């Protein structure tokens, strides 16, 4: 699973993680799907290429310090851009793993 996560990170963001730390695993949409989301904290990052994913994907990579993520998301929400609620919980798990 970690190799798939590393591969997806490069493909979609253009960043390579030298270390992955498992954070959590659970259903993407309880009751509506059998898909499972497995999340990692990626550290030791290095930029290795362009972002964008597949031809049919539009991906914009934003670099936001983890200490500023909640303020960033609140500001985006005020402007009409909503983040998946899972993002907030995963940010907290990452912050805890980092000792923040």
* Phi, psi of 78, deg, nearest 5: -60, -25
pLDDT interval class at 1 (50, 70, 90): confident
Pick the CATH number of 1-60 from 3.90.79.10, 3.40.1830.10, 3.30.43.10, 3.40.50.1580: 3.90.79.10
pTM of the model: 0.82
Q: What's the CA gap between 59 and 86, in Å, rounded? A: 18
Q: Could you give the angle at which helices 69-78 and 85-97 cross, rounded to 10 degrees?
A: 170
pLDDT interval class at 57 (50, 70, 90): confident
Quick one: how many helices (H) and strands (E) in the chain? 3, 2
Q: What's the CA gap between 2 and 39, in Å, rounded? A: 10
Domain regions of the chain by residue span: 1-60, 62-100
């Amino acid at each position: 699973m970690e190799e798939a996560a590393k591969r997806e990170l490069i493909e979609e963001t253009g960043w390579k993680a030298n270390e992955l730390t498992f954070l959590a695993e659970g259903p993407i949409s309880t009751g509506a799907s059998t898909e499972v989301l497995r999340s990692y904290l990626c550290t030791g990052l290095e930029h290795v290429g362009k972002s964008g994913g597949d031809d049919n994907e539009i991906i914009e990579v934003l670099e936001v310090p983890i200490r500023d993520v909640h303020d960033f998301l609140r500001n985006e929400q005020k402007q009409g851009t909503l983040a998946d609620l899972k993002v907030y919980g995963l940010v907290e798990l990452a912050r805890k793993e980092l000792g923040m």
